[in-house]
Amino acid sequence: MRGEPNITILAETFRLLGDPTRLKVMCACLEKPMPVAEIARSIDASPSLVSHHLRLLRAARLVRGERRNRQVFYGADDDHVRRMLTDMLAHADEVDVSGDDHGEAAPRI
């Protein structure tokens, strides 16, 4: 098992991604880097709310900003982050609508 600091960082990462709006912001940044206004439109949220979530995601090294002229474009920080999210999205797609997967009940949280 990895060291305790890594477990703490991973737990914090999953806690951050546990917020539905923040997760939508993250998913919007997966395909291509986008400015705040475009992210806000794509997830139907206010630019100020998106900026708040981006600040938290940047601090956790999940997204990075790149200045282009007068705008900052946000995208996944690296391929590890991108793969983690796309793999989890694919995993979520495997569970059928009834919540039953492979004959086993889905765990309740």
Q: What is the pLDDT of residue 99?
A: 56
What confidence tier does 26 reach under pLDDT thresholds 50, 70, 90?
A: very high
Model confidence pTM above 0.95: no
DSSP letter string, 63-95: EEEEEETTEEEEEESSHHHHHHHHHHHHHHHHS
Q: Name the one residue in this structure whose structure tokens are 């999940």.
A: 62
What domains, with CATH codes, occur in the chain? Answer: 22-92 (1.10.10.10)
Could you read off the pLDDT of 36-93 as tens digits, one per residue?
999 999 999 999 999 999 999 999 999 999 999 999 999 999 999 999 999 999 999 9
Structure tokens at 82: 């991108």
